Structure 1
Amino acid sequence: MLSLFRVTAILEGISYLALFAVTMPLKYLADLPMPNKYVGYAHGVLFIAYIILAVVLWMEQKWNIKKAFFILIASLLPFATFYVEKKYLTKEATLA
């Protein structure tokens, strides 16, 4: 389950950056709304998967409230899911 969450965290972060750094400018500056639509759908699915997996792992791994809160809030901030993946979800971090 943890490895699935790691992959989801990375993909969610990539989709977040793609949505706001690539497709939003295409939509509003180049009048190309279709890429934004599809990347937006993908980001939405990945965001929901990230939240669900975070809650499941919170219960399964018995994370404290501070760690769980930070991991959940990370889904709202650009680049934060990459930090979470590196700091909390790698094998070394879970052993510490």
Structure 2
Amino acid sequence: MTSSVYGERTRPLTTSYRGAYLRYRVMAYVTGVMLVLLVFVAVPLKYLADTPGPVAVVGTAHGFLFIVYLLTALDLGVRLRWPLLRLGLVMISGTIPFMSFVAERSVTHEIGARATVTQREAARPASSP
């Protein structure tokens, strides 16, 4: 085990995280794009052009997709045994424009570091008793 950027001990990865990681990455991007569209396109259209339709559509879609994002982040966090603070920060990042992209990048770096630890441990020769 090695120390990570966040101070906790980095555990080697198992193969059970891969599907959860892919689902999390997809939902982080989709949620981030929907929030950016909502905040920077739909809301200005509502107040500047008096067109409430895009807010209703994009806002509803983002709300539904945000719930899916929360579930995928929770699934990944449980599989990787994140501390509650880390899990909470990753989950909250879907509410701030562009932060889901930053959080996804941070998670990718963490998983890369854990994968390196796992590869090193797998390459280490087994000690004989």
Q: TM-score, normalised by structure 1?
A: 0.88
- Kindly indicate whether residue 31 of structure 2 is the aligned counterpart of residue 20 of structure 1: no
- Kindly indicate whether residue 106 of structure 2 is the aligned counterpart of residue 77 of structure 1: no
1:94 corresponds in structure 2 to 111
2:22 corresponds in structure 1 to 3
1:55 corresponds in structure 2 to 74
Counterpart of 1:68 in structure 2: which amino acid? L
Distance 1:50 1:32 in 2: 28
Deviation at residue 50 of structure 1 after TM alignment:
0.9
Runs of at least 4 residues of structure 1 off by over 2 A? none
Give CA deviations for 1:30-66 in whole Å, capped at 9, x if unaligned.
Answer: 0111111111111011110111111122212211223
- Structure 1 regions of 5+ residues with no counterpart? none
Q: TM-score, normalised by structure 2?
A: 0.68
Deviation at residue 87 of structure 1 after TM alignment:
1.3
Distance 2:39 2:57 in 1: 13
- Percent identical among aligned pairs is 36
Which structure has the bigger radius of gyration?
A: 2
1:64 corresponds in structure 2 to 83
Counterpart of 2:58 in structure 1: which amino acid? V
Distance 1:66 1:10 in 2: 22
Cα RMSD (Å) of the superposition?
Answer: 1.3
Flag the structure with higher helix content: 1
Counterpart of 1:42 in structure 2: which amino acid? A
Query: How many corresponding residue pairs?
Result: 94
